[in-house]
Amino acid sequence: MIKLKINGQERTWDGDPDLSLLWFLRDEVGLTGTKFGCGQALCGACTVIVDKEAVRACITSVSDVADRQVTTIEGLHPTGDHPVQKAWRQINVPQCGFCQAGQIMQAAALLMDNPKPSHAQIREALSGNICRCGCYQRIENAVHLASTGV
Amino acid sequence: MNIITNPKKLRGFEKACRVENVSRRSVLKGLGIAGSFVLAAPILSRPAFAAYETGAGKMPHGTVVDPRVFVAIAPDGIVTIIAHRAEMGTGVRTSLPLIVAEEMDADWSRVRVQQAPGDEVRYGNQDTDGSRSTRHYLMPMRQIGASARTMLESAAAKRWGVPATEVKAANHEVVHDATGRKLGFGDLAADAAKEPVPSIEGLKLKDPKNFRYLGKGEVSIVDLHDITTGKAGYGADVRLPGMKYAVIARPPVTGGTLVSFDPADALKVSGVEKVTQVKGWPWPSKFQPLGGVAVIARNTGAAIKGRDALKIVWDDGANAKYDSVAYRAELEEAARKPGLVVRKEGDVDAALKTADKVIVGEYYLPHLAHVSMEPPVAVADVKGDKAEIWAPVQSPGGTREDVAKTLGIPEGNVTVHVTLLGGGFGRKSKCDYVLEAALLSKELAAPVKVQWTREDDVHHDFLHTVSVERIEAGLDKNGKVIAWRHRSVAPSIASTFAANTVHQAPFELGMGLIDMPFEIANIQCENPEAAAHTRIGWFRSVSNIPRAFAVQSMVGELAHATNRDQKEMLLELIGSPRIVNLSSVKDPWNYGEPYSSYPIDTARLRRVVELVAEKGEWGRSLPKGHGLGIAAHRSFVSYIATIVEVAIDDKGKLTVPRVDTAIDCGTYVNPERIQSQIEGAAIMGLSLAKYGEITFKDGKVQQKNFDDFPVLRIDESPSVTNVHIVPPGPDTPPSGVGEPGVPPFAPALVNAIFAATGKRIRALPIGKQLET
Ligand code: FES
Ligand code: FES
C-alpha cells in the first residue's frame, strides 16, 4: 500500500506500483486538471509539483512519490489566485487551454526557485512545455508579469 | 425565448462545461434549454437576412435564427445563451454569444454560456471548421439578439401601456425615458416569451457606434478562469460512474486488417479487464474506425501497459509499399508533365516560348500531423438503442449522424455532448475515435472512454496532404511577368471518401491555385494525377499551405531574378486594384461563399501588404545575418500579409526576432482573439517550416511522438509577433480568422532566409538545410 499526499490530502494506492502518477491522478483520484499530452516527458502537459520541484507525472510512478507531497493545478491555490494564475488571466494567455495547467505548474515551480527570472530564463525553463496553439509570447509575458507583481 | 422557472437548476448552467457537472449525468440531462424548459411553441427555422449574402444557407441544415432556441432568461435576470459551435481555442464559444448579448443590450456579467449538443435541426449547421463561425453567424446572432431585445421591449411597453417606440433596452433592462420607469430583463422574461418573434426584415439592428462589446476585445473567454484552475472540461476529462478505459491497437498500415491476436500476456497486466476485437471498415470509408484490438482496463495506464503486451498479426494490405522517398519522386515526375487544366487564360505555352527568361520553382511540402495537444479521445454510453456521447468534436452534427449509422439506431436516439476541445486543427472534424468508443460501449454494455496515445495520434491521423507545386514564370525583357503555369500534384482529401480518387476536389483547387490573384496575361493551372496511400484530411489552412508557399516563394525568386525589392515585386504581380475575374474557371468554389459578397478584391490584398510594410518597417536596416521576407495570401476570404525577420548564425542556426502580420478579415467581433489566432498561426507556421514532416516506409508512419515529430517550443518562438488588423469598412462582411494566418508564414520565412543567406529553400521542412 502506497501512501502519498495530493493537494494536502492523504491518498493510498494498492494497485500496480508502477502505474504512472498521471493516470493515478486522472483516472483513479479524479483530478483531471493534469493533462495527458505525450506520455513520454516530451510535452509538459502533465506537469505537477512534487515537494518543490516540477515533475512530469507521465513518467513518474506512484511508488516514486510515496510519502511525498504532490501539488496539482487544482491545489496550486485555494481560490485559483496564485500570481501565475492571475497573470495568465490578465494577459489572456490560453487558446484551447489544454496545455495551460502544465505551463502554469512549470511557471509556478520556476518562480519558487527563481522569483525574478529573465526572459531568457523563462524561455529556458518552459521549453519542455509544448503549446500547440502557440501561446508562447503570452506565456512568456505572463510569467514575467507574475514575477514582477500582478 | 425560454423562461426558466427553476432557478436551482439554473446554477448548473454556467458550469455546463466543467468536469464535475459532466460527470453528474442526471444534472447534465436536466440542463438545458434543449431539455425541459422549451416553450410549447414550435420552433420555426427562419432564414437569416443580411445586407450581404453568405454561404451559410448552403451548409447542411443551414442557419437557425430563433431567439427561443438560443436565449433563455431566468426570473433573476440571468441570461443564458447557447454556443452551438465547438470551442477549440478560437474563442468562438465566447464570441458568438457575445454578439447576441450585444444586440440584446444584455450585461455580459449576467450572461451564462451553455454549450449546445449536436442537433443541427435545432441549431443549424454546427461544423466548426473552414474558419466559418463568425463569417456565417455574425448576422444571424445579431438577429437573434435583436429579436430577443424587441420581444423584451414589446413586453415592457405593454406592461406600461405605452407605444413600443417609446421604450428601449439598455444594459439588461428596458427603460421608458419619458417617465423614468425601468424593468429588468428578469422581470420581463415571462411576458417577453409570449410576444411573437418579430420578422427578420423588420428588425432594427443596433448602430455599430453604440456597440459596447463587439470590435472592442475587452471581454475574456468564458472558460478563462476554469482553464487556469484545471476545472475546464475537455473530452479527456469526462468521467462516468462505472466507466471503462480503453486503448486500441490499430493496423499499422492504412487499409491493413487484423489476422490474429494473442491476449494472454495483456490479460496478466494488473488492472486489465478484457481484450476484444474492434470492427474496422475497409479503406477508404470516410471517418469509420480502422479496427483493431482493444484493451479494456480500470485506468488508462493499465490499458496502455496491456496493449504493449499484446501479440498481433496484421495483414498490411494494399498500401504496404507506401514510401515517402519514392512517392516524392512520383509527384515530381507528374509535376513535370501536363496535367488536367483547371484554369486557362491566354496561351501560356506560347508565352513561355517567347519569354526572355523563364524561372522555374519546384516546391515540396510533406505530410503533416495535427498533433492537437489533446489527442483524440471520446466517451460513449450505449444502452440498447440509445447512445450518449461526450467528446471533443468539431462536427457535433456529423458525429451524431455517424454514431447513429454505425450503431444502426435512429439519429434522434443519439446525444452528442460537446466538450471543450484541446485543440482541433481539423483532426477533430473526423469522428473515428468517437465511433470506436460507441462500438466498445455497446459491446461491453458499459460507459467506455477510448483514449488515443500520442503515438496513436501520429500513426493514425488523417494527415495533411503531401504535394509538389511547380511554377514556371516567364518574364519579358523588361522583367514583367507574362506567363504563369502552376501545376499542383497532391493526393486529395476526397480520397478519404472515395476509392480511386486521383484529382483534387474543387475545394482544394480553390485554395490558392485557381484563385491566384496576380494580374498576368497568360495563366494556366494544372492538376496532374496523384493517388493516396493513407488517410488524407483537413489540416488548418489545408491546401493553402503548399499553394501560398509555392506562389509567394516564386514572388521572391522573381524579385531576385529581376533585381527588385520583394514587396515591390509582390505589388506589381497583384497588379491594379480590381475584382479578379474568374470566369475562366469552371468551379471557382470560393470557400462556399457567393462571389458577390466575397470577391477576390486585389485592393484589399494590396492594402494588407502596404499596411504590414508600414507597421512592420519593411526595408529597415538589420544586423548582419538577418533578413526580411514578405508574403501575402487570401484564404478563407480574408486577406493576410506577413513579414518575418530571421537571424541566421554562422552555424546555420535560425531564430526569428520579429514577425508582423496584417489581416483584413472584414467586420470582426473580438480583435483580442484575432490577435491570439495570428500569434498562434506564426508558431504553427514556423513549426511546420522548421520541423513538420511525416514520412512513410513500408506503408507505416515513421514518426511517433514529439521527439521525432517536433513542434515549436517556447525557446525557439519569435521574440515578438505584432498583429495589425485592418479596420473594416461599414459594410464589409466578416471573413475567416482561424486559418488564414498560417499560409503566408512559411513563404515569408524562406524569403527572409534568402535575403539573409542567399539560400533558397524549396522543400519543407527546413531541417538541416541551413547547417554549415
Ligand atoms: S504527458 Fe507528460 S510530458 Fe507529455
Ligand atoms: S492553449 Fe492549446 S495547447 Fe496551449
In a domain, B627, yes or no: yes
| Bridge partners (DSSP) listed for residue B467 | B365
Neighbours of B685 (CB within 10 A): 32
Indicate the residue among B228, B250, B283 that finishes a domain.
B228
Q: Which of B418, B535, B416, B449 is nearest to B88 (CA)?
A: B418
pLDDT of B772: 86
Burial status of residue B361 (CB atoms within 10 A of its CB: 0-12, 13-18, 19 or more)? buried
Please answer yes or no on whether A15 and B677 come within 8 Å at the CB atom. no
Please answer yes or no on whether B300 and A38 come within 8 Å at the CB atom. no
- pLDDT > 60? residue B11: no
pLDDT of A125: 98
B284 prior amide bond cis, ω within 30: yes
In a domain, B763, yes or no: no
B116-120: average pLDDT? 96
In a domain, B59, yes or no: yes
pLDDT tens digits for B129-154? Answer: 999 999 999 999 999 999 999 999 99
pLDDT tens digits for B555-580? Answer: 999 999 999 999 999 999 999 999 99
Cβ atoms of residues B756 and B699 within 8 Å? no
* pLDDT above 70 coverage of chain B, percent: 94
pLDDT of B26: 28
- Lowest average pLDDT, out of A60-69, B20-29, B472-481, goes to B20-29
> Both B614 and B681 in a single domain?
yes
pLDDT tens digits for B474-499? Answer: 999 999 999 999 999 999 999 999 99
> Both B572 and B612 in a single domain?
yes
Burial status of residue A143 (CB atoms within 10 A of its CB: 0-12, 13-18, 19 or more)? buried
Q: Which of B333, B265, B344 is nearest to B305 (CA)?
A: B265
pLDDT tens digits for B39-78? Answer: 223 344 455 556 789 999 899 999 999 999 999 999 999 9
Indicate the residue among B451, B479, B505 that finishes a domain.
B451
Q: Using a 6 Å cutoff on CB, does residue A98 contact ligand 1?
A: no
ipTM over 0.90: yes
- Strand bridging mode B638-648 / B626-635: antiparallel
> Both B630 and B740 in a single domain?
yes
In a domain, B1, yes or no: no
Q: Which of A94, A102, A97 is nearest to A38 (CA)?
A: A102
- pLDDT > 90? residue B352: yes
Q: Provide the grid cell at B330.
A: 512520383
B6 to each of B37, B69, B73, B520, how far by Cα in Å? 9, 18, 11, 66
Give residue ranges with CB within 6 A of ligand 2.
Answer: A 94-100, 131-133, 135; B 89, 373, 423
A23-31: average pLDDT? 98
pLDDT tens digits for A121-146? Answer: 999 999 999 999 999 999 999 999 99
Which H or E run contains B415? Answer: strand B414-418
pLDDT of A11: 98
| Bridge partners (DSSP) listed for residue B124 | B63
B727-745: average pLDDT? 94
Cβ atoms of residues B64 and B123 within 8 Å? yes
Reading phi first (left if > 0) and then psi (alpha if -120 to 50, else beta), residue B214 is in: beta
In a domain, B762, yes or no: no
Reading phi first (left if > 0) and then psi (alpha if -120 to 50, else beta), residue B39 is in: beta
Point out the ligand nearest to the CA of residue A36.
Answer: 1
Sign of CA dihedral B496, B497, B500, B503: negative
pLDDT tens digits for B409-429? Answer: 999 999 999 999 999 999 999
In a domain, B277, yes or no: yes
pLDDT of B50: 64
Give SS3 for B56. helix
In a domain, B772, yes or no: no
Question: What single letter denotes the amino acid at residue B273?
Answer: E
- Lowest average pLDDT, out of A9-18, A109-118, B25-34, B220-229, goes to B25-34
Q: Which of B221, B241, B235 is nearest to B113 (CA)?
A: B221
**Residue B725: φ, ψ to 5°:** -100, 130
> Both B439 and B477 in a single domain?
no
**Cβ–Cβ contact B717 with A under 8 A:** yes
**Cβ–Cβ contact A134 with B under 8 A:** yes
Give SS3 for B225. helix
For chain B, counts of helices (H) and of strands (E): 22, 27
Indicate the DSSP class of residue A45: T
CATH number at residue B47: 3.30.365.10
Indicate the residue among B404, B421, B451 that finishes a domain.
B451
Q: Which of B575, B591, B431 is nearest to B511 (CA)?
A: B591
Neighbours of B31 (CB within 10 A): 24
Rg of chain A in Å (alpha carbons): 15
CA distance A93 to B319: 43
Indicate the DSSP class of residue B249: E
In a domain, B456, yes or no: no
Q: Going by CA atoms, what residue is nearest to atom 4 of ligand 2?
A: A131
CA distance B214 to B103: 10
Cβ atoms of residues B384 and B498 within 8 Å? no
Please answer yes or no on whether B301 and A35 come within 8 Å at the CB atom. no
Reported confidence tier of residue B27, pLDDT bands at 50, 70, 90? very low
> Both B627 and B676 in a single domain?
yes
> Both B619 and B711 in a single domain?
yes
Sign of CA dihedral B144, B145, B147, B151: positive
Question: At which residue does the C-alpha cell 542567399 appear?
Answer: B758
Could you please report the per-residue DSSP string of B76-105?
Answer: T--EEEEE-S--SSSSHHHHHHHHHHHHHT
Interface of A with B in 7-26 (CB under 8 A): 15-16, 19-20, 22-24, 26
pLDDT of B48: 59
Reported confidence tier of residue B99, pLDDT bands at 50, 70, 90? very high
pLDDT tens digits for A76-101? Answer: 999 999 999 999 999 999 999 999 99
Point out the ligand nearest to the CA of residue B304.
Answer: 1
On average, the pLDDT of chain B sits at: 93
Residue of A nearest to B217 (CA): A92
B726-745: average pLDDT? 94
pLDDT tens digits for B662-672? Answer: 999 999 999 99
Domain limits for position B177: 7-228
Shortest-distance atom of ligand 2 to CA A97: 1
> Both B689 and B612 in a single domain?
yes
| Bridge partners (DSSP) listed for residue B536 | B463
Give SS3 for A128. coil
pLDDT of B52: 87
> Both B280 and B328 in a single domain?
no
The angle formed by the CA atoms of residues B714, A135 and B82, to the nearest 5 degrees, is 160
- Strand bridging mode B386-391 / B340-345: unpaired
B98-117: average pLDDT? 98
Sign of CA dihedral B60, B62, B66, B67: positive
pLDDT of A56: 98
Q: At what angle do helices A136-148 and A100-113 cross, to 10 degrees?
A: 40
pLDDT tens digits for B174-186? Answer: 999 999 999 999 9
Q: Provide the grid cell at B133.
A: 463561425
Question: At which residue does the C-alpha cell 477510448 appear?
Answer: B450
Contacts of B696 (CB under 8 A, 6+ apart): B322, B323, B324, B327, B367, B533, B534, B702
> Both B72 and B146 in a single domain?
yes
pLDDT of B21: 29
pLDDT of A114: 98
Who among A28, A80, A130 is closest to B711 (CB)? A130
Cβ atoms of residues B646 and B634 within 8 Å? no
Reported confidence tier of residue B16, pLDDT bands at 50, 70, 90? very low
Cβ atoms of residues B273 and B296 within 8 Å? yes
Reported confidence tier of residue B299, pLDDT bands at 50, 70, 90? very high
Give SS3 for B741. coil
Question: At which residue does the C-alpha cell 468508443 appear?
Answer: B437
Global pTM value: 0.95
Reported confidence tier of residue B602, pLDDT bands at 50, 70, 90? very high
Reading phi first (left if > 0) and then psi (alpha if -120 to 50, else beta), residue B171 is in: left
Domain count, chain B: 3
pLDDT of B730: 75
CA distance B209 to B12: 35
Q: Which of B278, B269, B72 is nearest to B190 (CA)?
A: B72
Chain-centroid distance, C-alpha B50: 24
> Both B180 and B214 in a single domain?
yes
- The 3 state secondary structure assigned to B634-651 is EECCEEEEEEEEEEECCC
> Both B277 and B403 in a single domain?
yes
> Both B97 and B73 in a single domain?
yes
